[in-house]
Amino acid sequence: MAYFSKHYHDPGTEPGTLVAKSETREPPSFHLIDYTEDHLEEVRLVNAADCRDYVIRETRTWIQVNGQVDPETLRNLGELFDLHDLALEDVLNTGQRPKLELYDDRLFLIAAMPFYSGEDLEIVQISLFIGKNYLLCLCPLDEDPFEPVRQRMRLPNNRRFLSRDIDYLLYALLDLVIDSGFPVLEQFGYQLEDLETDLLEHPSQRTLAQIHGLKRELLVLRRVLWPQRELLTSLMRAEDPLIHANTQVYFRDCHDHSVQIIELLESFREMTTSMLDIYLSSISQRTNETMRVLTIIATVFIPLTFVVGVYGMNFENPVSPWAMPELRWYFGYPMVWGIMIAITTGLIWFFKRRGWL
């Protein structure tokens, strides 16, 4: 995952400019649900203009746009829903900080949804526009992550959902976005368990690289999820006609989940820091063990080298009283070996007695 993933315009660009940063692979898909307490209509649309007939009704409408949105489609949505240019710019330039902004009689929210794509951590920006009777949700993923919410709406006699205003639908989408952090943190937990085992049994450079990678991902995740808690706090306390008092209770539940995720995230960050300290201590301990063994070996061979060096001088003179008489002894060679074996045995016994072996 990249440290910096925000798309931005060139410095000096006029505010509200909509410029695509890359070629759009496929046109976005439009999935619309128009509902009342007694009726639910679900259709697939081709473009933004097809939403017009549903928006003017006295019903509640959820327009889900999936895929990379090109500037032209975004402009059409902006004209249809009278959206602010700065908000549209934030939709196009993904990687924004989660936030809540008020524009006249509508709200604009940006949320961050983490998930694992294979073995890589991804964080996708979810942009939501809320009006009196509509909710426009833009997600850059080709696959719709909000299908579970749609399945709840399809349930027969689901008056609890369909009878509520559009702010309850906003809660349902945000609840899914927030709760998507729990599977991600569960995956982090499994990785930490495996790293802890490797750390205690056979730490290596690969273990160190994994710890640093995990710590980096947790840091990036914290950077995007921390302001999301502030977003939910704002919704809980919002004094806006679009957010009703009976729905703020549900936003409070989302806020609780967000706090739990942040607390787990902070715990995992502390664990990675502790694991890094354990790795350094373990490597230091292994180095000390190696140095101790080498020191003992060197200590054993120092007196042996001295003995061999002395008798390797070969000063043999039968006349001189200072000559080495051992060189002419019949058992001189076995005697030197016996001395060296005795020295080695004595040193090993001494080291074991002191607890150094």
Determine, yes or no, domain membership for 204: yes
Determine, yes or no, domain membership for 199: yes
Strand ranges inside the chain, DSSP E:
29-35, 40-45, 60-66, 99-103, 106-117, 120-130, 134-139
Determine, yes or no, domain membership for 164: yes
Chain position carrying tokens 């619309």: 32
pLDDT given for residue 12 in this prediction: 52
> What is the per-residue burial (b if ≥16 Cβ within 10 Å, else e) of 258-280?
beebbebbeebbebbeebbeebe
Same-domain check for residues 132 and 268: yes
Phi, psi torsion values for 141, nearest 5 degrees: -80, 145
Strand ranges inside 131-282, DSSP E:
134-139
Q: Which residues sit opposite 62 in a β-bridge?
A: 33, 135
Burial class (CB in 10 A: 0-12, 13-18, 19+), 318: exposed
pLDDT given for residue 289 in this prediction: 80
Q: Roughly how many angstroms between the first and final C-alpha of the chain, as a whole number? A: 47
Same-domain check for residues 84 and 157: yes
Quick one: DSSP state of residue 326? G
- Specify the pairing of strand 99-103 against strand 134-139: unpaired
- For the chain, state the CA radius of gyration: 36
Separation of alpha carbons 51 and 45, rounded Å? 8
Same-domain check for residues 111 and 194: yes
Determine, yes or no, domain membership for 167: yes
Separation of alpha carbons 7 and 14, rounded Å? 15
Same-domain check for residues 209 and 335: no
Number of domains in the chain: 2
Same-domain check for residues 186 and 331: no
Separation of alpha carbons 158 and 53, rounded Å? 25
Quick one: DSSP state of residue 28? P
Identify the CATH number of the domain in which residue 116 sits: 3.30.460.20
Same-domain check for residues 150 and 219: yes
Residue in 54, 28, 45, 48 with CA at minimum distance from that of residue 134: 54
Ordered per-residue pLDDT tens for the chain, 357 residues = 554 455 655 665 656 566 666 655 678 889 999 998 888 889 988 888 888 888 888 889 999 999 888 888 888 898 888 888 888 888 888 888 899 988 888 899 999 999 887 778 888 999 999 998 899 999 998 888 999 999 888 887 777 788 889 999 999 999 999 999 999 999 988 888 888 888 877 778 888 888 888 888 888 888 888 899 889 988 888 888 888 888 888 999 999 999 999 999 999 988 888 888 888 887 787 788 888 888 888 888 888 888 888 777 776 666 667 777 777 777 778 888 888 888 888 888 887 887 777
Cβ proximity of 243 and 254 under 8 Å: no
pLDDT given for residue 110 in this prediction: 94
Determine, yes or no, domain membership for 3: no
Same-domain check for residues 148 and 216: yes
Same-domain check for residues 255 and 328: no
Residue type, 60: R
Same-domain check for residues 224 and 341: no
Determine, yes or no, domain membership for 287: no
Q: Which two tokens stand for residue 127?
A: 């942009």
Q: Which two tokens stand for residue 142?
A: 């080709």
Determine, yes or no, domain membership for 307: no
Separation of alpha carbons 309 and 212, rounded Å? 52
Same-domain check for residues 271 and 326: no
Which residue range(s) make up the domain with 80? 29-282
**Hey, how many other C-beta atoms are within 10 angstroms of the C-beta on 289?**
10
The last residue of one of the domains, among 267, 282, 297, is: 282
Q: Which two tokens stand for residue 214?
A: 């995990």
Residue in 121, 99, 110 with CA at minimum distance from that of residue 218: 121
- Specify the pairing of strand 40-45 against strand 60-66: unpaired
Same-domain check for residues 275 and 342: no
Separation of alpha carbons 329 and 338, rounded Å? 14
Same-domain check for residues 216 and 333: no
The last residue of one of the domains, among 264, 282, 300, is: 282
* pTM: predicted TM-score of the whole model, two decimal places: 0.77
Cβ proximity of 195 and 275 under 8 Å: yes
DSSP letters for 234-271: HHHT---TTS-HHHHHHHHHHHHHHHHHHHHHHHHHHH
Phi, psi torsion values for 60, nearest 5 degrees: -105, 135
Q: Which two tokens stand for residue 227?
A: 């302001």
**Hey, how many other C-beta atoms are within 10 angstroms of the C-beta on 166?**
19
Determine, yes or no, domain membership for 262: yes
